[in-house]
Amino acid sequence: MENQQPAKTKLTTLGNQLLRVRPGDTVLQTRLDDLEKRWLHLVAELPHSEEQLHRAQMDLLPSRQALNELMLWLEGIESALREDLGKVLGSTMDVQIMLQKYRVCIKIHKNSVQSDKSIYEMLD
């Protein structure tokens, strides 16, 4: 609104100058009056619109944060999988160590999901 105020002022000033030259121009007067009414309506509605926008942003913030956390976890798992892709597992101990590594990753994620369960349900 602040950015448009100079344009609105210029238009109103020009319209009023034209009215001084043509005082009986009811169409121009009606348009200027309509412009002023619409401008005042916008100014009056702006705080309400800003409040709604802010509320919507706050409502989306937890879900956005949860999505970011999930993406970070997935990137971590993908990185670990890429690291382990070429590994040769020579013994059952090697397999058990790798399985334990992934169990820990999944357990950490499950704990995180449990603490943010309502957020994840909202994403679903």
Question: Percentage of the chain with pLDDT > 90?
Answer: 31
Using one digit for the tens of pLDDT, what is the confidence trace for 26-52? 999 999 999 999 999 999 999 899 888
pLDDT attached to residue 116? 60
- Kindly tell me if the per-residue pLDDT of 77 is higher than 60: yes
Phi and psi, residue 121, nearest 5°? -65, -35
Say how many Å lie between the first and final Cα of the chain, rounded: 37
Mean pLDDT for all residues in the chain: 84
Backbone angles phi, psi at 90, to 5 degrees: -90, -15
Give yes or no for a contact between 73 and 31, defined as CB atoms under 8 angstroms apart: no
Q: Can you give the pLDDT at residue 14?
A: 93
**Is pLDDT larger for residue 16 or for residue 117?**
16
